[in-house]
Amino acid sequence: MTWLKEPLLHFLGLGALIFAFYYWTADDSANHREITISLGAQENLIRTFERTWQRPPLPTEMASLVQDLVREEIAYRESQVMGLDANDIIIRRRLRQKLELLTEDLVSLGPPVRADLESYLQSHPEDYRQPALLDFEQIYFRSEPDEATARARATDALASLLAEPGRIDPAGLGDRSLLAGRYRDVRSSELSTLFGSGFDTAVLALPLNTWAGPVRSGYGYHLLRIARKTESRIPALDEVADEVERDWMSERRRQAVDGLYERLAANYQIRIEATLPQAPAAPGAPAL
């Protein structure tokens, strides 16, 4: 009979034999064969269902949830008996994640006091630095097709504005564009995004309440009048307390996980074999 020679049939039969071997040679203790779904586990199922569906489960739904939990426990135990968790990179990573999350949760039980946050802010001031804020006007001169001409036009317009302050309407100078003529409460960090790299540095160096320039941008040349400039500063704790507490907790969790591995590593003899030499590249292949 040709069906007896089918490789798939041999594979399925071998799999059944392996499963039977693990099943009958596994630990058959009462603890292994007993599954208890506690009241606490059932309450957790109900809470999870309510968070998802905004209502308690119906009796049939609850029975299905319990059945699924029983099957999950059976699959977990039988997979362990058969060694399915051995050398599984996904399972190893998940267990590591659970260990680290448990450690982080224990650390999170103790909230910081104000002195902790003050100390953290003093140790990381640049992380919370407030950028300079500016209010300014700008007049734009298109650099195409002749950049030298655009710069000369901007320079002449600046001379006119300075010679007769208040008598020349800035709106009548320069070229039309999609750029706004006035900007308010612009962060200095946003200037490079709006006008191109390096524009913020040039603008911050300009004097207040007078037309100055020309300043080169990614579009062309600009004359600017800075009406207000709030200098960059380190804020007080009360202004950034939520951000500081979040970062303090994050660092504390990281330190707890690092400390955990340092303590656990002391219980092991760790040996790292010599790194394999890099194989020579094949002729014509790009170097890595």
Q: pLDDT tens digits, residue range 42-65?
A: 898 999 999 999 999 999 998 899
Mean pLDDT score, 17-25: 46
For the chain, give the mean pLDDT: 80
Nearest to residue 224, comparing CAs of 200, 243, 245?
200
Q: Look at the chain and count its residues.
A: 288
User: Band of the pLDDT at 258, cuts 50, 70, 90?
Assistant: confident
Tell me the residue type at 108.
Answer: S
Query: Tokens 């099943």 identify what position?
Result: 23
pLDDT at 287: 47
Q: pLDDT tens digits, residue range 187-216?
A: 887 888 888 888 888 888 889 999 998 999
CA distance 241 to 248: 10
Mean pLDDT score, 11-16: 45
Q: Pick the residue with more confidence: 107 or 214?
A: 214
Q: Pick the residue with more confidence: 59 or 280?
A: 59
Q: Is the pLDDT reported for residue 132 higher than 70?
A: yes
